[in-house]
């Protein structure tokens, strides 16, 4: 029970491929504010990225960003269908174009008048099986392909155009990649493999060269991944069809992983594919994909193996749009780059009476000492046909 759905298939494995599309923001525009961006991945139709601006405790729709590519209608829960990068004075946003396997580029300014820059592709990689997942660090975009089962690297240029750096590298596990994350020090790439055991692999990064490490066994299936600010621990969201299950691996100096500590929280909601640390690293937010909640865990990196996570609270179920019935909750991101994150963006999907899938962004406020609470007016609907998976926030978390 790990994947998103294709339109008309309830909670079942689906997808085809992806390659990213791109948008440029003016990073020094004082009025740019807080935004959340998500790839819509519209099934067999022109794709786009949905954009909302955070104003007070509500989301205001910004112009949709057409990628001129095609979607496939759903990937894994932890597939990062878009990623952000700050390069010079620009902030670049990459958005998956699964069906057409290309990268479209735009300059967005303040999002009022986006303009297309170009299209790019990687002939050595394909996500035409279960999508493509993205991760950014510095001036490099890392792309995990599910069909060719490898990882490509692009160089991000100052104008947010892309240059293919080298042929895609083999992965430690010959299986489709789900989650992908780069350590803040830029030395390690972590991948999860949703349908495989072992379920985690790592790579040492040297420039644009990747050296595979591992693989590493996990207790149950793997999905989302986050990495601590000091680049010492990889936190893996897992799925076993029950309560939240999290695994924490120490990252060694050579980018290999040490022995993991596994955590289970029966007090939490149902399933735990998606995870994200708060900016101050005192909380770990976990999406409960099939109870439509967010479990909050207390994180203490210095507590030692087996003691770094404790249960804090669980939210009420997310609201479903009127007349719809729930399908799943998936990716999660913090809105503010400091403290506990201020607000949480959570991707939430539901079916209408004709059993057509649609996606929305749920907005939860994060109090300092109590559980996240969904704001009035949430969820905020994405364009018709959207099969969003994960959100990306601007400004991003600092690590």
Distance separating alpha carbons of residues 83 and 153, to the nearest angstrom? 14
The DSSP code for 114 is -
Domains defined along the chain, listed by start: 20-394 (2.130.10.10)
**The model's pTM:** 0.92
Q: Are 121 and 19 in contact (CB under 8 A)?
A: yes
Q: Are 141 and 84 in contact (CB under 8 A)?
A: no
The distance from CA 266 to its chain's CA centroid, rounded to whole angstroms, is: 25
Mean pLDDT by 10 residues, the chain (399 residues): 38 35 43 84 89 95 90 89 83 83 75 77 87 92 90 92 92 92 98 90 96 94 97 95 93 98 96 97 97 98 96 98 94 97 97 93 96 98 92 94
Distance separating alpha carbons of residues 122 and 143, to the nearest angstrom? 10
Query: What is the secondary structure of 158-216 as a DSSP string?
Result: TTS-EEEEEEEEE-SSSS----EEE-TTSSEEEEE-TT-SS-EEEEEEETTEEEEEEEE
Tokens 């994947």 -> residue: 3
Distance separating alpha carbons of residues 249 and 26, to the nearest angstrom? 37
The distance from CA 209 to its chain's CA centroid, rounded to whole angstroms, is: 23
Between the alpha carbon of residue 69 and those of residues 38, 84, 97, the distances in Å are: 15, 19, 5
Distance separating alpha carbons of residues 96 and 71, to the nearest angstrom? 8
CB-count burial class (<10 Å; 0-12, 13-18, 19+) for 334: buried
SS3 of the chain: CCECCCCCCCCCCCCCCCCEEEEEEECCCCCCCEEEEEECCCECCEEEEEEEEEECCEEEECCCEEEEEEECCCCECCCCCEEEEEECCEEEEEEECCCCCCEEEEEEECCCCCEEEEEECCCCCCCCCCCEEEEEECCEEEEEECCCCEEEEEEECCCCCEEEEEEEEECCCCCCCCCEEECCCCCEEEEECCCCCCCEEEEEEECCEEEEEEEECCCCEEEEEEECCCCCEEEEEEECCCCCEEEEEEECCCCCECCCEEEECCCCCCCCCEEEECCCCCEEEEEECCCCEEEEEEECHHHCCCCCEEEEEECCCCCCCCCCEEEEEEEEEECCCCCCCCEEEEEEEEECCCCCEEEEEEEEECCCCCCCEECCCCCEECCCCCCCCCCEEECCCCC
């Amino acid at each position: 029970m790990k994947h998103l759905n294709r339109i008309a298939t309830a909670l079942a494995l689906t997808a085809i491929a992806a390659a990213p599309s791109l948008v440029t923001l003016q990073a020094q525009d004082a009025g740019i504010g807080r935004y959340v961006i998500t790839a819509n991945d519209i099934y067999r139709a022109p794709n786009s990225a949905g954009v909302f601006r955070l104003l007070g405790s509500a989301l205001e729709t910004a112009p949709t960003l057409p990628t001129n590519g095609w979607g496939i209608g759903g990937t894994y829960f932890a597939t990062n269908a878009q990623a952000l990068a700050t390069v010079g004075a620009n902030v670049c946003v990459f958005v998956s174009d699964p069906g057409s396997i290309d990268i479209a580029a735009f300059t967005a300014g303040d999002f009022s008048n986006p303009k297309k820059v170009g299209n790019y592709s990687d002939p050595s990689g394909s996500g035409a099986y279960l999508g493509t997942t993205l991760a950014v660090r510095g001036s490099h975009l890392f792309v995990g392909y599910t069909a060719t089962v490898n990882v490509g690297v692009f160089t991000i240029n100052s104008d947010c155009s892309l240059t293919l750096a080298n042929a895609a590298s083999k992965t430690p596990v010959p299986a489709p990649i789900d989650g992908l994350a780069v350590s803040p020090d830029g030395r390690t790439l972590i991948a999860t493999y949703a349908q495989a055991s072992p379920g985690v692999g790592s790579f040492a990064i040297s420039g644009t060269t990747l050296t595979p490490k591992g693989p590493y066994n996990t207790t149950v299936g793997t999905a989302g991944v986050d990495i601590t600010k000091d680049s010492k621990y990889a936190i893996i969201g897992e799925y076993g069809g029950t309560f939240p299950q999290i695994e924490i691996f120490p990252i060694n100096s050579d980018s290999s992983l040490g022995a993991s500590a596994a955590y289970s929280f029966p007090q939490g909601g149902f399933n735990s594919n998606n995870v994200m640390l708060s900016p101050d690293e005192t909380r770990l937010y976990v999406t409960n994909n099939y109870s439509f909640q967010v479990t909050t865990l207390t994180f203490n990196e210095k507590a030692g193996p087996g003691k770094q996570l404790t249960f804090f609270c669980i939210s009420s179920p997310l609201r479903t749009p009127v007349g719809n019935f729930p399908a799943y909750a998936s990716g999660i991101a913090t809105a503010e780059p400091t403290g506990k994150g201020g607000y949480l963006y959570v991707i939430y999907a539901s079916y209408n009476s004709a059993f057509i899938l649609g996606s929305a962004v749920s907005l939860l406020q994060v109090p300092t000492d109590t559980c996240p609470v969904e704001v009035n007016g949430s969820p905020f609907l994405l364009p018709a046909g959207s099969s969003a998976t994960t959100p990306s926030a601007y400004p991003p978390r600092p690590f």
